[in-house]
Structure 1
């Protein structure tokens, strides 16, 4: 007997009633629709706790995942609008609580949870997610101590990223005014909620994108205290990377002294509170003025002492020196004495020069020069025959040299080679002049005018090559009569 599910006018299933085999069947669509309505009515609002597995964000913006525990799994979908409201970075292995409704997907005969929201399942899950992200960013070197930069001693302009309505900005401005009045630029952002992380990261990037004349010298990222969920925006990866990548030094002042976020690790300096951040950012102006005044007094005292010591040393040196007027008078007397001696010395020197000139001029008389010229001419005339003799000797030497050159050419051993002769030379370099010497040598070199060849001695003369018969010309072949 077949069992058919019964429905009332609303489409709900009634108790199973046995029917005959001729009962009309359901269509697949009818049955799927009936199941869908039943499941959605029974589980229209549920909260399910489980571990995320297979997290995937589609190009449409919808997110698909599986919630699982140690015994079962549940397919879950998060539509685009709900996915945009997530307050944390969902990923595999995170335990969450999903709120939504259970429905069916007739196209695959599956049931699934359509989640309206996801929240982390307790502080333990948050800390697990935090430690995982912290290890990842630390491995990239974003928290390294060598990346930290020194803060400016007196920043000309300070940028503050915080909520414009909270007590944090009032505390920072009040503390800066008390310590060292400075120009402050406030970039108002949300510091809590699903959009807070993106707004904080954009604010940091916006300050860094300003022109040099408008850009702050120091940034303070601040928020008041709260639970770990309230401060979670400052643990988001986008905020941590924005702080680590800032070209402007950053002070992180998030929460109270016991609160710690990943932004504190990435910042160049961590402040326990927003008020402490203002104290770290600027010194106390009154203390600086007092310090400058104190240093001015010390400098004036030191200069006065140095001047007094220099005056004492100058007086001591002055006492060691003789009277300048006496020194000038002595030098004047010496100049006068040297002037008188110079006149006498110049006169004596002129007299000696005149005597030497007279002696030299006597040697240069014209008659004496003519006598020396005549003697030189006579010596040249006597040497003329010797010059002609040298010319004849040179000519005879040249003729003899030319004759020896012609004889050397006649005796050149390679000259006969040009007339068809050859020279045989053994391996020892000696000339072979007989057949017996050639047989004894065995191998030797034969040199011709255009080169040399190797040869082997043998008693049998070379054979004459056979005359090659030329093939008859086919054109002259006589044709047969047949």
Structure 2
């Protein structure tokens, strides 16, 4: 280390330049620490700089350490830094003379245990769920019978062989494989590019466009499956226009693509089973439906045939239907010859009776002309007579509608109405008198037939406690309560052991007395 001694200085302390101090501190820090592993939380991360380098800080609850990742190292990282993520960074501790700070130049970075990865995964899941990427409403059903299946997986692993073998067993069809790395730092980019590439294939092109996509990988640890938790993979799966099946890991392994995919399969083999039906089962089902259809057609034909036969038995035969018309036709045919002969003879007789000659025709024409001339001579007189008749009718109608005739007619109508009113009053009075007489006769007849007239002659009506008439003494028992009705009232009594006359009712209000039979 160079030294300079000033003769004018009042002390013997060595004097250094700023650069010398910076270089000395840098050499001391690098020699003392070298490569270190530092655990802390990423703070101030804003993504790579325009130069490709990344600058941020690592902190804990008491200190802060500046950090940087050079462009070449950043592209090789398996886990990209994110704000707030707790990591373990491996690198070289050094200083930055431009700002008198010490920093770590990171060569590798990894999450600080599974808990940090899970926290990061939960944060991504929460953010994507808030955007609606996990909603069931946006997920589509798988086609029942696809023609082409696209598989995004490693071309050399056992996963693709299991998928191909399972599809060949169930329903052989075309399989298009997009090879990707299923573990490592480039997994997320390759899988998202594969999903996007399948969606960009044109229908009818040299490479067939798949009807279903399967993104598959075998089981592994959380770090092994971390590429399928990439946000780019989840967004590519959500934007896919082709229905997508996620088959990453085992049944207990869950990644972000499982939440975004239209269907999640527990294993790659299960994804193949979900993608295609079983051809043998379809053939058996079709054969069963065909047999049922054939049986239904035969049964329907039998029912129709039986119904037709029953209807045909109920209908009369053709001979029965045509018997009466045939008989009528035969009778008409038998009469036709005789009728034609008789008609011909009749026409011949009339023709023979007509002795047509020019003189006869001339005489008939002359007679018709004479009748026409006589009618023409009478026509003026007939017209004049018709005119006189019409005039006389008109004069008669005019006389009827004159004021005098109207007054006379009104008086006649008034007298008629008055007479009708008097007759109506007389009819009402007569009908009332008749009904009054009939009512009096009915009242007299009712009094004659009523039992009250019988009671007035000294008889009585005996009723039991239920209000029924007692017709025989044998029906009365000792102690029975009886109600005896006389012409002037009712008496309550109690039957005794022997036959005793009831005491006369006291004078007073009818029905107010009470006797007893002992």
Structure-1-length-normalised TM-score: 0.65
User: In structure 1, what is the equivalent of residue 262 of structure 2?
Assistant: 268
Q: CA deviation at 1:160?
A: 0.1
Structure 2 residue 38 is matched with structure 1 residue 44: no
CA contact (8 A) 2:144 2:277 kept: yes
The residue aligned with 1:150 is 141
Which residue does 1:253 correspond to in 2?
247
TM-fit CA distance, 1:38: 2.1
Runs (4+) off by over 6 Å:
332-340, 362-366
For the 8 Å contact 2:237–2:257, the answer to whether it is kept is yes
2:189 equivalent to 1:198: yes
SS in 2 for 1:90: coil
Residue 207 (structure 1) aligned to one of 198, 220, 224: 198
Residue aligned with 2:28, SS: helix
Deviation at 1:279, TM superposition (A): 1.2
- Give the whole-Å Cα distance in 2 for the aligned partners of 1:32 and 1:338: 144
User: Using the alignment, how far apart are the partners of 1:269 and 1:291 within structure 2?
Assistant: 25
Q: Which runs of 5+ in 1 are unaligned?
A: 1-6, 10-18, 344-361, 376-482
Alpha-carbon deviation of 1:108? 0.9
Do the aligned partners of residues 235 and 365 (structure 1) sit closer, same or farther apart at CA in structure 2, a change above 3 Å counting? farther
Distance 2:52 2:373 in 1: 123
In structure 2, relative to structure 1, the CA distance for the partners of 1:292 and 1:35 (3 Å cut) is same
Aligned-partner Cα distance in 2 for 1:253–1:215: 20
Aligned residue-pair number = 343
State which structure, 1 or 2, has the greater radius of gyration over its C-alpha atoms. Answer: 2
Q: Deviations over 1:157-205 (max 9, x none)?
A: 0000000111110111111111111100000001111111010001000
Deviations 1:433-470 (A, max 9, x none): xxxxxxxxxxxxxxxxxxxxxxxxxxxxxxxxxxxxxx
> Alignment partner of 1:204: what SS?
helix
CA contact (8 A) 2:229 2:257 kept: yes
Q: Are 1:163 and 2:154 matched, yes or no? A: yes
SS in structure 2 of the partner of residue 65 of structure 1? strand
Write the deviation string for residues 38-92 of structure 1: whole angstroms up to 9, x where unpaired.
Answer: 2222222111000111112222222111111111000111112222233335322
Aligned to 2:65: 74
Counting only pairs closer than 5 Å after superposition, residues 107-256 of structure 1 correspond to structure 2 as 107-213=98-204, 214-256=208-250
Question: Secondary structure of 2:247's partner?
Answer: strand
Corresponding residue SS for 2:215: strand
2:321 matched residue in structure 1: 327
Determine helix, strand or coil for the equivalent of 1:181. coil
Separation in structure 1 between the aligned mates of residue 199 and residue 131 of structure 2, nearest angstrom: 22
Contact 2:53 2:70 in 1 (8 A): yes
Q: Which consecutive unaligned segments of at least 5 residues does structure 2 have?
A: 4-8, 340-370, 385-518
Cα distance change of structure 1 residues 365 and 247 upon mapping to structure 2, 3 Å threshold: farther
* 1:328-387 C-alpha deviation (Å, 9 max, x unpaired): 4545677899999xx9xxxxxxxxxxxxxxxxxx99999589969x99xxxxxxxxxxxx
3-state SS, counterpart of residue 44 of structure 2: strand
Task: Look up the match of 1:101.
Answer: 92
Q: Give secondary structure in 1 for the equivalent of 2:188.
A: helix
**Cα 1:123/1:329, change in 2 over 3 Å:** same
Alpha-carbon distance in structure 1 between the residues aligned to 2:148 and 2:279: 15
Residues 79 and 109, structure 2, Cα contact 8 Å, conserved in 1: no
2:45 alignment partner, SS class: strand
Question: Are the counterparts in 1 of residues 234 and 260 from structure 2 also a CA contact under 8 Å?
Answer: yes
The answer to whether the 8 A contact 1:89-1:236 is kept is: no
The 1:368/1:317 distance shift into structure 2, 3 A limit, reads: farther
2:281 to 278, 282, 287: 287
Partners of 1:180 and 1:273 lie apart in 2 by 18
Instruction: Measure, in 2, the Cα distance between the counterparts of 1:163 and 1:66.
Output: 37
C-alpha distance in structure 1 between counterparts of 2:193 and 2:186, whole Å: 11
Higher RCO structure (Cα 8 Å, ≥6 apart): 1
- Provide the aligned C-alpha RMSD in A: 3.1
Q: Distance in 2 between matches of 1:142 and 1:363?
A: 113
Q: Is this contact kept in 2: 1:159–1:218, CA < 8 A? A: yes
Assess if the C-alpha contact under 8 Å between 2:134 and 2:260 holds in 1: yes
Of residues 303, 311, 315 in structure 2, which corresponds to 1:317?
311
- Quick one: distance in 2 between partners of 1:365 and 1:205? 117
Q: Is the 8 A contact 1:88 1:236 kept in 2?
A: no
- How far apart in 2 are the matches of 1:365 and 1:178? 120
Q: Secondary structure at the match of 2:116?
A: helix
Aligned partners of 1:190 and 1:199 also within 8 Å: yes
Structure 1 counterpart of 2:20:
30
